[in-house]
Amino acid sequence: MRAAHLDPFSGASGDMLLGAAVDAGADLAAVESALAGLGLEGWALRADAVTRGGIAATTVVVLVADTDSGVVRTWGNVRALLQDAKLPDPVKARSLATFSRIAEVSARLSRRPVGHVHFSEIAALDAIIDVVGACAAFDLLEIGSLTCGPVAQGAGMVRGEHGLHPVPAPEVLALLEGAVTYGTGEPLELCTTTGAALLAEWADGWGPLPPLRLERVGYGAGMRDLARPNLVRLVLGEEIESTPPAGAVLALSARAGDDPEGGQEGWDERLARLLSGGALDAWALPLTGGGTLVTCLTPPERADEVRAALRTATGAPSIHGSVVERWAAGAAAPTDEGARRPPRPDPPPPIPPDPRSA
């Protein structure tokens, strides 16, 4: 299995991620063959070689017949479609999890039960093909682990089903809880809901490009020409085991959708189980709009058992992790001998008063 890194320096969408995977070597015919398992008609894929900001890239366009126009699908419709589809097991699981994330945040933001969530543009035929196609392409590339860099966001307003909405969309920010994201000031949507959901589902961690033995790079292009290269970059390679710095531990985080019975006492019990299961420290923070982010620190050698305990404590479908440094109370932070500042000189002696002013 390969390691991968996504660099969404101009945001991300389902079609951009699919384009990046095809540009990195995923066979388009094999993607189409997997998508045929959906049993849907009236669509086709077209890959085009383009440039954005002077960088060669690939766009994958989903061509949809007019017969799908105006069709409204609920989360239940999409879930049944994917469950009945003849997709490879990993592709089906990832696709279901991606749309499940969208349904959960949509329900939370609209304060409705998940079963009452109605998808609009998100469940249009082209969006379904984008999401399942991207999952199929990533599976074809045999991606075993994936990290993601900071996610660029636009600004302003965009018109949706219920009128004007801010950019980034509330669903996008909810899906990217725990990710690193930033605004560019571009007056348009850079990261879409389907793009954010795919990033959240596939990313095992958020941060800079990790040590890789580089194999290939793919660029997926957005449809617009912007002042910045409208691309998302996919880097593939072999993960290189690096020696963690002294004091390095893993910070594992997961979002719990429901609070335990007993309120704070229930959380205290869950955190105590994490500590008894090998975590060095554990805490829970409530999230805006609902849910709780549970984080624990673990030595690298106990990561598997603590990750399993965290999944049990939260019921979260995915867990994100990063390497951090931890210093015990009273321990001095490590210093770089070559980067130490020179000692400050002693202050000059005070200037004696002028006797003439006496």
Number of structural domains (the chain) is 2
| Same domain membership, residue 252 and residue 229 | no
Single out the residue in 222, 239, 256 at which a domain terminates. 239
pLDDT for the residue numbered 339: 36
| Same domain membership, residue 283 and residue 205 | no
SS3 197: helix
Q: Looking at the DSSP assignment, which residues form a beta bridge with residue 256?
A: 292
Q: Is residue 96 part of a domain?
A: yes
Q: Is residue 318 part of a domain?
A: yes
pLDDT for the residue numbered 47: 97
| Same domain membership, residue 153 and residue 229 | yes
| Same domain membership, residue 256 and residue 232 | no
pLDDT for the residue numbered 343: 45
pLDDT for the residue numbered 89: 96
Q: In what order do the strands lie in the sheet with 43-52?
A: 43-52, 55-64, 212-221, 231-239, 2-7, 143-148, 205-206
| Same domain membership, residue 153 and residue 84 | yes
Q: Is residue 161 part of a domain?
A: yes
Can you point out the beta strands (E) in the chain?
A: 2-7, 43-52, 55-64, 73-74, 118-119, 143-148, 151-153, 157-160, 163-166, 181-183, 205-206, 212-221, 231-239, 248-256, 281-286, 292-298, 320-325
| Same domain membership, residue 159 and residue 263 | no
Q: Is residue 63 part of a domain?
A: yes
| Same domain membership, residue 129 and residue 207 | yes
| Same domain membership, residue 253 and residue 235 | no
| Same domain membership, residue 158 and residue 18 | yes
Q: Is residue 340 part of a domain?
A: no
pLDDT for the residue numbered 349: 58
Q: Is residue 254 part of a domain?
A: yes
| Same domain membership, residue 55 and residue 172 | yes
Q: Is residue 337 part of a domain?
A: no
| Same domain membership, residue 213 and residue 316 | no
Q: Is residue 358 part of a domain?
A: no
* DSSP state, residue 124: S
Angle at CA of residue 184, ends 181 and 187, nearest 5°: 120
- Segment (H or E) for 17: helix 14-23
| Same domain membership, residue 196 and residue 172 | yes
Residue with tokens 């617009």: 224
| Cis peptide, bond prior to residue 348, ω within 30 of zero | no
List per-residue pLDDT tens for the chain, 358 residues long: 899 999 999 999 999 999 999 999 999 999 999 999 999 999 999 999 999 999 999 999 999 987 665 566 788 889 999 999 999 999 999 999 999 999 999 889 888 888 777 776 666 889 999 999 999 999 999 999 999 999 999 999 988 776 788 999 999 999 999 899 999 999 999 999 999 999 999 999 999 999 999 999 999 999 999 999 999 999 999 988 766 566 788 999 988 877 777 677 888 888 998 998 889 999 988 887 678 889 999 988 888 899 888 988 888 878 888 888 877 665 555 454 433 334 444 555 555 665 555 4
Residues 6+ apart with CB under 8 A from 8: 148, 149, 150, 151, 152, 191, 195, 199, 232
| Structural domain range at position 289 | 248-327
Single out the residue in 239, 268, 289 at which a domain terminates. 239
CATH code (residue 253): 3.30.70.1380
Predicted TM-score (pTM) of the model is 0.71
Single out the residue in 239, 271, 291 at which a domain terminates. 239
pLDDT for the residue numbered 323: 83
The structure tokens listed for 182 are 């930033």
